[in-house]
Amino acid sequence: SKRIALLTSGGDAPGMNAAIRGVVLACEKHDVQVYGYLQGYNGLIDDNYCLLTSDDVAQIVHLGGTILKSARCPQMCDDDGLKQAATNLMKSKIDALIVIGGDGSFNGLLALKRFWPGQMLGLPGTIDNDLDNTDYTIGFSTAINTALDAIDKIRDTAQAFDRVFAIELMGRHSGHLTFNTGIASGAEHIMSFENTNVSDTDKTLSELAQEINVIKQKRNRSYVIVVAENLWPGGVQTLATQLKQSHNIDCTVCVLGHIQRGGNPDAKDRVMATRMGVAAVQAVLLGETDKMVGEVNQEMVLVPLKTAIQQTKAVNSHLVEMQSTILKG
Ligand code: F6P
């Protein structure tokens, strides 16, 4: 019978376990053996795997993190590491490799292609939603809800004290998480790559200070700014310090950080991840390779891995426009 290798790589995302379960259950139905490699690509290089059966995945659909563990694996950037991974895959007679991860993980797959001829499929697993040709990635929805829950709580304090808060959100270099969470939380201001000029920080800061002052003069109330990580030079703490020094505005900082990566996946992530896991196995059985399973308009699609990692999926322009014209302040 066929053998599929499965691993999770890069930042963990809620719903990865649901995807693992989908893969394993679909494989069992089709009499395919699943080799679960541990700690991302490290498992391939160290030949560290376990066989997965339906028993192993019976109780995991609701769990955050990943039972296979994850890692960022620098050895996949050099030929020795890639050759070692390929040797181990061949030794175990693996027919196909399914990787759940983000763009770094898919780059690893494409690099491995030079040394291993088997089938390769990717599942989009990242809270950043920064993969092309899929509307959503596994973990994105849950991360929004987790961040939202935290911001709602901060809002209580902000409102009780009429304070200004700057809250930093994850997303690496994309604003999907920041924009969606900002709108859902009713943030007075969203600072993200799509709408913030950081080449002239003085000007951007003055405009922000002016907006805060206008609101505060009308009626003293809380003011929440959500800020994308990696956006503001020096980070969100620098932004707050500059607001104080240049405009005498007190601003409390909160970096939500890895809270956003954890927790039980929501229903949307669980259903999507399960579908994607099953679809990946079906794709393998159809002989597909070098593809990512995506979801577009609620349907499963297969897209070339290369096009999935272009990093061109923009935040919906209606959201950006609505924020600047109607919701601001
Ligand atoms: O890609 C997921 C992510 O959480 C990003 O949002 C963030 O920039 C990065 O990973 C953080 O990586 P690490 O957990 O290695 O610090």
Reported ipTM: the value is 0.99
The predicted pLDDT at position 73 comes to 95
3-state helix, strand, coil in the chain (%, to 5): 45, 20, 35
Q: Which residue matches tokens 């809002």?
A: 155
Contacts of residues 247-252 at CB distance under 8 Å and 24 or more positions apart, as own/partner, are: 247/205, 247/206, 247/209, 247/213, 249/164, 249/209, 249/212, 249/213, 250/163, 250/164, 251/164, 251/165, 251/166, 251/225, 252/158, 252/163, 252/164, 252/165, 252/166
Q: Using pLDDT thresholds of 50, 70 and 90, give the confidence band for residue 216.
A: confident
CA atoms within a 13 Å half-sphere pointing along the CA-CB vector of 249: 28
130 CA from centroid of ligand 1 (Å): 12
- Furthest-apart CA atoms within the chain: distance in Å: 72
Q: Among residues of the chain, what percentage have pLDDT more than 70? A: 100
Q: Atom of ligand 1 at shortest distance to CA of 13? A: 2
Q: Determine the distance from the C-alpha atom of residue 192 to the mean position of all C-alpha atoms in its chain, rounded to a whole number.
A: 16
The pLDDT score that the predictor gives to residue 24 is 99
Check residue 329 and give its pLDDT: 66
> Counting beta carbons within 10 angstroms of the beta carbon of residue 253, is it exposed (0 to 12), middle (13 to 18) or buried (19 or more)?
middle
Pocket lining: 128 vs ligand 1, CB cutoff 6 Å = yes
pLDDT at 202: 97
Cβ of 194 below 6 Å from ligand 1: no
Q: Looking at the whole model, is its pTM more than 0.95?
A: yes
Q: Is the pLDDT of residue 128 over 90?
A: yes
Q: CA dist 69 to 10, 13, 107, 157, Å?
A: 10, 11, 19, 36
128 catalytic per annotation: yes
Specify the residue with its C-alpha closest to ligand 1, atom 14. 11
Protein residue with its CA nearest to atom 15 in ligand 1: 11
**pLDDT tens digits, 130-163:** 999 999 999 999 999 999 999 999 999 999 999 9
Tell which one of 107, 178, 256, 261 to mutate to probe ligand 1, the residue whose CB is within 8 A of the most ligand atoms. 261
**What are the C-alpha distances in Å from 204 to residues 58, 211, 243?**
52, 11, 11
Ligand 1 pocket test target in 16, 128, 230 with most atoms within 8 Å of CB: 128
Tell which atom from ligand 1 comes closest to the C-alpha of 127. Answer: 2
Q: Is the pLDDT of residue 281 over 80?
A: yes
> Does the pLDDT at position 270 exceed 70?
yes
Q: How far apart are CA 319 and CA 299, in angstroms?
A: 23
Amino acid code (one letter) for 209: A
Q: pLDDT, tens digit, for every residue of 294-311?
A: 999 999 999 999 999 999
Report the nearest-CA residue for atom 9 of ligand 1: 172
Joined tokens for residue 270: 């669980």
Given 12, 103, 128, 132, the catalytic residue: 128
pLDDT level of residue 218 (50, 70, 90 thresholds): confident
Tens of pLDDT, residue by residue over 311-329, are 999 999 999 999 999 997 6
275: three-class secondary structure by DSSP: helix
Interval 204-212 mean pLDDT: 97
Q: Which atom of ligand 1 is nearest to the CA of 230?
A: 8
